[in-house]
């Protein structure tokens, strides 16, 4: 018999709370010049932003239970078309944000992955291609779409973000606040605020609702591996952006 679902949820939340890299303060507080952030955005684009709906579709292709299929299909629809938020495909919104930063679309073609970025991407590919489906679902919807603030965000899901709150969040975003990127270029931030709450609920329900004695350790292992590979990926990105621990600690 598997452990209590609440106990498993707590262990997975503890993993997500460690999704917090030492270099983040330098990014979040505007201490890295905007041109130096290009490797950060290029690596995120090539590792998961560009292909995220495809990865979700792989999990859907394993034919999970009907309720999971519905949740994944809705997520894919929004990611690939922007149909729910009435915007545009999320990869397209990302590129528009990059243009707002002064980068060209050509700079996101044929990106060469840093070594640990390639290893993280290989892990995401393995998880999404392989069975059982719940491993890929956990890696993608819990870890990739989740954050160190998951516990707080889950607690606030019953309070949909108001338009004014979303506007404030956009203006507080480091690209707008420190680098002068026009709020209109940050449509992706608005869309995430609009739709991600529902996706977070779906993510936890599909994993906790269908985990079994056999798959529970697989899910925990997948999140632990995702964390270790993500941290190494962020180490490489920080170095590529010229960030060291001294700068991050300022």
- Alpha-carbon dihedral sign for residues 123, 139, 10, 132: negative
Here the CATH number for the domain that contains residue 155 is: 1.20.910.10
Distance CA 166, CA 169 (A): 5
Contact 243, 26 (CB under 8 A): yes
Mean pLDDT over each residue of the chain, to the nearest integer: 93
What element of type H or E holds 246? Answer: helix 245-248
Angle at 132 between CA 130 and CA 136, to 5 degrees: 60
pLDDT digit string, tens, across residues 5-26: 999 999 999 999 999 999 999 9
Q: Indicate the number of domains in the chain.
A: 1
Distance CA 59, CA 68 (A): 10
pLDDT digit string, tens, across residues 71-129: 999 999 999 999 999 999 999 999 999 999 999 999 999 999 999 999 999 999 999 99
pLDDT digit string, tens, across residues 140-159: 999 999 999 999 888 876 55
- With bands split at pLDDT 50, 70 and 90, how would you rate the model's confidence at 199? confident
Q: What residue numbers bound the domain in which 210 lies? A: 5-248
Global pTM reads 0.93
Contact 13, 150 (CB under 8 A): yes
Residue owning tokens 């269908």:
210
Structure-derived torsion over alpha carbons of residues 244, 44, 18, 195, reported in degrees to the nearest 10: 140
Highest mean pLDDT of the ranges 29-33, 198-202, 225-229: 225-229
Please tell me the predicted confidence (pLDDT) of residue 3: 57
Among residues 56, 49, 91, 44, the alpha carbon closest in space to that of 187 is found at 91
Distance CA 95, CA 188 (A): 10
pLDDT digit string, tens, across residues 31-77: 999 999 999 999 999 999 999 999 999 999 999 999 999 999 999 99
């Amino acid at each position: 018999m598997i452990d209590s679902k609440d106990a498993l949820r707590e262990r997975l939340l503890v993993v997500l709370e460690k999704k917090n890299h030492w270099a983040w303060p330098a990014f979040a507080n505007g201490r890295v010049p905007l041109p130096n952030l290009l490797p950060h955005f290029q690596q995120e684009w090539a590792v998961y932003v560009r292909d995220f709906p495809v990865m979700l579709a792989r999990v859907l292709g394993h034919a999970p239970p009907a309720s999971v299929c519905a949740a994944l299909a809705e997520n894919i629809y929004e990611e690939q078309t922007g149909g729910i938020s009435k915007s545009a495909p999320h990869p397209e919104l990302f590129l528009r944000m990059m243009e707002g930063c002064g980068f060209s679309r050509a700079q996101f073609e044929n990106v060469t992955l840093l070594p640990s970025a390639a290893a993280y991407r290989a892990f995401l590919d393995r998880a999404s291609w392989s069975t059982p489906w719940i491993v890929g679902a956990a890696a993608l919807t819990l870890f990739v779409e989740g954050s160190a603030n998951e516990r707080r965000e889950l607690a606030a899901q019953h309070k949909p973000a108001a338009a004014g709150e979303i506007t404030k969040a956009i203006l507080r975003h480091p690209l707008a606040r420190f680098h002068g990127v026009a709020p209109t270029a940050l449509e992706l931030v608005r869309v995430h605020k609009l739709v991600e709450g529902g996706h977070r609920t779906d993510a936890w329900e599909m994993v906790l609702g269908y985990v079994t004695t056999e798959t529970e350790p697989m899910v925990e292992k997948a999140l632990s591996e995702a964390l270790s590979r993500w941290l190494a990926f962020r180490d490489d990105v920080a170095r590529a952006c010229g960030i060291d621990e001294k700068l991050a600690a300022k």
